[in-house]
Amino acid sequence: MGLGLSIGAMTPAWADSGASGQALVGLPDFTPIVKQYGPAVVNISTTETRVARGAASPFPPNSPLNQFFAPFFGAPGQPGAPGGGAGQKYQVQSLGSGFVISSDGYIVTAAHVVKGAQKIIVSLTNHHQYAAHLVGLSARMDVALLKIDAKNLPVVQIGDSSKLEVGQWVLAVGSPFGFENSVTQGVISATSRPLPDDPYIPFVQTDVPINPGNSGGPLFNMRGQVIGINDQIYTNSGGYMGLSFSIPINVAMDAVKQLKLHQKVHFGWLGVMIQDVSMDLAKSFHMKEPVGALVSQVVPDGPAAKAGLRPGDVIVSFDGQAIYNSGQLPPLVGVLPAGFKAKLGVIRDGKPMSLNIVVESLPGNLENTVESAASGGPAQEGEVKRLNVQVGPLTAEARKQLHVNTGVLVLGVGVGPAAEAGIRPGDVILQVAQQQITNAAGLQKLVAALPAGQPIPVLVRRGEGSFYLVLSLPH
């Protein structure tokens, strides 16, 4: 019996399907989007006047690093450099991107691109340049509206960011590092992603390569619709590292409508400070799971205070939508109009309850909404040995600066349970085990009665914010 083989007849099935079969996933072609809507993307250059700090650049005059450090230190011959002088003014130029939303010259960009600029120049793809007027901006939303004196301009098509899905293709057009009308692509990595410094914006996270100069430019879907404004990157190097964040176009355009009417951009407000619930905090509040937004501070006379919300409450739902972490709540509330009535699902002392709340507008100056009440009698300074901390009374100056009316000031922290919990000198202990602290004697008495080996919630004030720590006392 022969063992001859025909190589052609033995071609593997996988090789045949790869060569002649239809692709399972079609590769996107972005050229129609770029051709049709690319001309509506603009380059924005700004000029800002700054004051020299009075220190010279540490690099030689011919060093290429001077172009980056000169605005901060002053290059030779500039204010702040040798021969210059601290306090003198100099000009700094920067670049960004934007897009035309109406043929008569309205342009949307990011607020940080144009904030503080004395001169704004908009350049189109046909190389025409226009001086732009700033109609208005919202620094908190990071959206700005510009106007140029032009007609019959190409415009973008506005999409619906509420319909975005993780994994769909998106396209960015902008001017990274000043390279005008650069095109980059990627997919949506996450939606409604809150960031620590921008809690009111439910960012669209993508892996689209974005770099300095892309800010303010459009993020397109495959229909050629703008579904976001490219805004931020996460980076350790100053360049793109795979994480880009865009402002959802629905949120941005709501702000644009208000700016066009010369109105202040509204944000819904509950009047609380919140934090995530860790496993230890969940145990200390008698919760089965570490979910929700833990209320650490309630603004007097704010919506939450009027609704009966207290520090130590855990918000687990808002207007019927589940809240799994503290980052979910601000974007949900921020887009709501003043007067909107919602139902809060709350866990208090381990038990579920429901509260009705009426959303108000975020005050322009939150510090003004925190009122000081008359102070109580002076507390005695003392040591809480079981915690190994030294505490003292709040001075009138501390009450005013920290906006607190009760509690004890931590003067010193030794090795022990308080230090392990993260309590520091300068903190104000407001609550222990959800009991208000008014003086050192009361704190000593309460701590002496606490059980050993169980997680205890401690509410502290540090700087302008209050938050919970978990204390565990030894046997």
Three-state DSSP state, 252:
helix
Which residues are CB-neighbours of 105 under 8 A, at least 6 positions away?
Answer: 130, 147, 148, 149, 150, 151, 153
φ/ψ (deg, to 5) at 427 = -70, 155
Which residues are CB-neighbours of 267 under 8 A, at least 6 positions away?
Answer: 140, 141, 200, 334, 361, 362
Which residues are CB-neighbours of 379 under 8 A, at least 6 positions away?
Answer: 392, 393, 394, 408, 438, 439, 440, 441
Q: Is 215 a catalytic residue?
A: yes
Catalytic residue among 112, 192, 254, 276: 112
Catalytic residue among 45, 215, 244, 466: 215
CA distances from 382 to 12, 164, 386, 390, 408 (A): 83, 57, 12, 6, 10
Judge whether 348 and 312 are in contact, CB under 8 Å: yes
Which residues are CB-neighbours of 24 under 8 A, at least 6 positions away?
Answer: none
Distance CA 344, CA 310 (A): 12
Distance CA 59, CA 67 (A): 10
CA distances from 271 to 1, 307, 361, 362, 464 (A): 89, 11, 10, 8, 14
Sheet containing strand 106-109, edge to edge, reads: 129-131, 119-123, 41-51, 89-100, 106-109, 143-147, 133-138
- The label of the residue with tokens 């919970």 reads 468
Q: Is 319 a catalytic residue?
A: no
Catalytic residue among 142, 198, 280, 427: 142
CA angle 340, 341, 343 (to 5 degrees): 140
Beta bridge partners of 169: 187
Q: Is 262 a catalytic residue?
A: no
Task: Tell me which residues are annotated as active site.
Answer: 112, 142, 215
